[in-house]
Amino acid sequence: MTDDPAADLKRQVGLAAAALVEDGMVVGLGTGSTAAFVIAALGERVRQGLQFVGIPTSERSAEQARGVGIALSDFAHHPEIDLTIDGADEIERGSLNLIKGLGGALLREKIVAAASRRLVIIADDRKLVDHLGEHTAVPVEVSPFGWESAALQLGRLGAAVTPRRNRGGILFVTDGGNMILDCRFGVIEQPAALERQIGEIVGVIESGLFIGRATLAIVAGEGGIVEYRPQ
């Protein structure tokens, strides 16, 4: 235990998810503070003899994985992934629909998720919501060319749009060289329809709405760890 209860919860779900990895698997390695605990736990299992290959969703996760001895691969060698473990910014109760991408890796995260037989989401119970959008903006990755036009059209869908900037005030650039527009829609009643509408905007590369992709959510709270499956 530490003096940071949130970190303790993230560590608990990280250990639980890392235990799902078996010898010979191809594993998608998520991005973010919770996924970092999974990578650390898997590094320890590698030192104990576990053999698998990882496909990271960001340069940050790749660097951490190499540092703890995890062998990395790519889609050229492994076009299908057995299991991906990643965090989320919001998890909708019942459906397990997600908002992801506040860490800036949403495009790679969705590519990896789409190629995975199983997507396991790990989080603390603060991420559970009745409806997506209750607390979190939807990140939308867009081409730097013409992003203003994409922002205008996202606004017409009902979003309050803010270009993401780094701590220095400079426009944030993803690992793929794109921009992110943080789009606050408020409560999202029809997330699947909104995902489609966002995807139809020219200049949009991908959104942080992950609809119907999660197969399991491992959630930690004061009462312990609870597993959720889509209903």
Cβ proximity of 62 and 56 under 8 Å: yes
Angle of helix 33-47 versus helix 59-67 axis, rounded to 10: 30
What are the phi and psi torsion angles at 147 (to 5°)? -60, -30
Q: Which of 90, 109, 195, 206 is catalytic?
A: 109
Q: With contact defined as beta carbons under 8 Å apart, do 210 and 113 qualify?
A: yes
207 bridge partner residues: 140
The residues that bridge with 216 in the sheet, in sequence order, are: 120
8 Å CB contact between 17 and 223: no
DSSP string, 126-163: GGEESSTTSS--EEEEE-STTHHHHHHHHHHTT-EEEE
Q: Which residues pair with 171 in a beta bridge?
A: 165
Nearest to 140 by CA among 106, 113, 166: 106
Note if 134 is an active site residue.
no
Strand partners, 27: 54, 83
Q: Just list the catalytic residues.
A: 109
